[in-house]
Structure 1
Amino acid sequence: MSHSRSRLSYLKSILKLPNNHAAETTAIRSTITVVPSAYLMEIYVGTPPVKQMMELDTGSDLSWTQCHPCVNCFEQNQPIFNSDQSSSYQVLRSCYSSDCLKLRRHIDCTRSNEKCKYRISYGNGLRSKGELAKETYTVGGTSIENILHGCGHENIRVFDKQSSGVIGLGDSPLSFFGQIRNSIGGMFSYCLVPEFGSNPNARSMISFGNNEIVYGRGMMSTTLFRRLYNAYYFLKLESISVGRYRTIQMITQSITQPGNILIDTSALLSYLPSVVLENLKEALIQEIGKRPLNVSDGFCYESNTYIPTITFHFADGADLALSKMNIFISNRNMLCLAIEEDDDDHYLPIFGNLPQMNFLIIYNIPGRKVYFKPTDCSRHIITT
């Protein structure tokens, strides 16, 4: 990575932004900060730019922040965005405009002649309701005009106070990534620092475009699957190994629905089918050599318990060796398994952000590939 940055300090590229203006840049980059259960991307919204910290979400498309006037909002450290003070804010005046119709099931108009409104709910209890507008985003020094942006006036959930909203990275015309997709070659990458790492102030990076992506030793790739009318990213998990020997087979993917697990940066926990999860727990018991603690709220061991490496075997030979910190979370001097049953609230298996920690993860949408490279993400930061 250092060699690439040195080279790129001399080589600049012209990035064609959605507003048809040109900007001189090596890539669109920003920092990622870890907070309890989530990762926040630094972004500046409006003119003049107002700093916002938005939750990184590959499992969503709409990007939004809390906005004045707030009818019902959660507490946040950053100033709540005031659209009246932004000269670049343009609310969509028609519910039948092509941009408003990109909301699809999230559209919340009651009359045809009113401005575009949205309503969105997430599986973790988060909800947001507001109006859809076009606004200028400034990311790592690059300004991008006319980005579809949700201005949330009613927002429910106890967020970390550092958070002010959600940045949608799904692949759809509505998401932030989808709107700049063609300008950046359909690629983005990120590296997530451990939430419980030794450096609580560690930050890492997210990069849009392939200018700084370095392929090399340790890099693995697996096929990226997309589903019809779905903005999200699916992988094919074939099996799971516990230690060196015990392997649990994953349920075969559906013929009509390719891929069998969603990769999601906004979900702390991972979710597996009940049969697979029970087999995983039994394999852990055998490898650890003792049964878990008798607690009602999880599969837990004492904090000093030896935990074997758990390897997720994805299609095409991408074998992700996950350490204790990728699979277990600390809870009252215990280590508890951060994988739960795929139930009614999580209607499909999910590969959450915990097992993604300390991997450089690259999405190549046109190439239908996701790349993983074991990385110390606390060192994978933006330097100026």
Structure 2
Amino acid sequence: MAPRTYGGLAFIAEVYLGSPSIRQYLHVDTGSNLTWTQCFPSSHSFVDHIYPKYSPEDSNTYFDAECETTAKNSTPKFTYYASTGVCSYELTYGDGNLIRGRLAEEMITLQTRNGEFKVVYDVYFGCNDQAVGNQYIGTGILGLGTGKFSIVEKLGSKFSICFGLIMESKPTHNLILGDGANIQGHPTVINTTQGNYMIMLEFILVGAELKALDDPVQVHLDTGTTICHLSGFLFNFIV
């Protein structure tokens, strides 16, 4: 669900973070590995008063993660500060937005398909204390990319998403994480390249005309953006 005016701008997952649990609205992003939320108090917040606020100091299950547990070539990059014992990160997105925070582990609660709730412990997430930019939606990011810090890895390396109509008044989108994920309809082969989900683009439909590419190209599947980015070659091919 997407709270208030954000309907149609992004796919938002409702999850519960910490103990006692605080509801968070996370932007579903297959183009990111790290799940993060805005932590309070913070030096720079983009979240306004309509959202619930997560404070690590109020959670019984929050603890800072150690940098020694991180991968050397991971994204984002992590830096350990001995004076504070904090493993910090900084990440810049493709649109220029920037976030900073500390790597942590926390308990999350997810709703299951039968309406019950499942608790998952020791999930990596970014406790974000600074955000630069104005394109953030919800209270943070639900990172569904591949990699050590992806929540997908924690829940069995499987997920499926069913998209309904983007602008519908009562959303019917479903995100299933873990063993309950399944494939319906005609399957499309998805590869992973440098942590990104990629498919081969063979045809482009322009109006009623189906144009076939002489050489299929790889395209990146990214639910974190509302814009299709085309290379100059593909753009000229369409027009």
Question: Which residue pairs with 2:204 in the alignment?
Answer: 240
Alignment partner of 1:146 is 2:110:
no
Q: Which of the residues 72, 77, 86 maps onto 1:107?
A: 77
Q: Deviations over 1:11-50 (max 9, x none)?
A: xxxxxxxxxxxxxxxxxxxx67763531111000000000
1:245 and 1:202 mapped to 2: Cα distance? Answer: 31
- Provide the secondary structure at the position in 2 that maps to 1:47: coil
CA gap of 1:238–1:75, structure 2 versus 1, over 3 A, is: same
2:54 and 2:220 mapped to 1: Cα distance? Answer: 32
How far the C-alpha of 1:252 sits from its partner, in A, is 4.1
RMSD of aligned residue pairs (Cα, Å)? 2.4
Residues 1-384 of structure 1 aligned to structure 2 (within 5 Å): 35-76=7-48, 77-92=50-65, 94-95=66-67, 97-98=68-69, 100-101=70-71, 104-109=74-79, 111-112=81-82, 114-140=85-111, 141-159=117-135, 163-181=138-156, 186-195=157-166, 197=167, 199-211=168-180, 213=182, 215=184, 219-227=185-193, 230-249=194-213, 251-253=215-217, 260-281=218-239
1:156 and 1:191 mapped to 2: Cα distance? Answer: 31
- Between the aligned residues of both structures, percent identity stands at 23
How far the C-alpha of 1:178 sits from its partner, in A, is 1.5
Gapped regions of structure 1 (runs ≥ 5): 1-30, 254-259, 282-384
How far the C-alpha of 1:103 sits from its partner, in A, is 7.3
2:181 and 2:230 mapped to 1: Cα distance? Answer: 34
Tell me if structure 1 keeps the 8 A contact 2:161–2:176. yes
Q: Deviations over 1:280-313 (max 9, x none)?
A: 12xxxxxxxxxxxxxxxxxxxxxxxxxxxxxxxx
Rg bigger for which structure? Answer: 1
- Provide the secondary structure at the position in 1 that maps to 2:16: strand
How far the C-alpha of 1:194 sits from its partner, in A, is 3.2
How far the C-alpha of 1:110 sits from its partner, in A, is 5.8
Tell me if structure 2 keeps the 8 A contact 1:236–1:261. yes
2:208 and 2:186 mapped to 1: Cα distance? Answer: 19
- Provide the secondary structure at the position in 2 that maps to 1:173: coil
- State the AA in 2 paired with 1:208: L
Tell me if structure 1 keeps the 8 A contact 2:155–2:178. no
- State the AA in 1 paired with 2:235: L
1:214 and 1:267 mapped to 2: Cα distance? Answer: 23
**Richer in helix (by share):** 1
TM-score, normalised relative to structure 1: 0.55
2:227 and 2:187 mapped to 1: Cα distance? Answer: 23
CA gap of 1:41–1:127, structure 2 versus 1, over 3 A, is: same
1:43 and 1:102 mapped to 2: Cα distance? Answer: 29
TM-score, normalised relative to structure 2: 0.85
1:105 and 1:194 mapped to 2: Cα distance? Answer: 32
1:49 and 1:79 mapped to 2: Cα distance? Answer: 11
How far the C-alpha of 1:105 sits from its partner, in A, is 4.4
Q: Deviations over 1:182-217 (max 9, x none)?
A: xxxx3211123333x3x33424211113536364xx
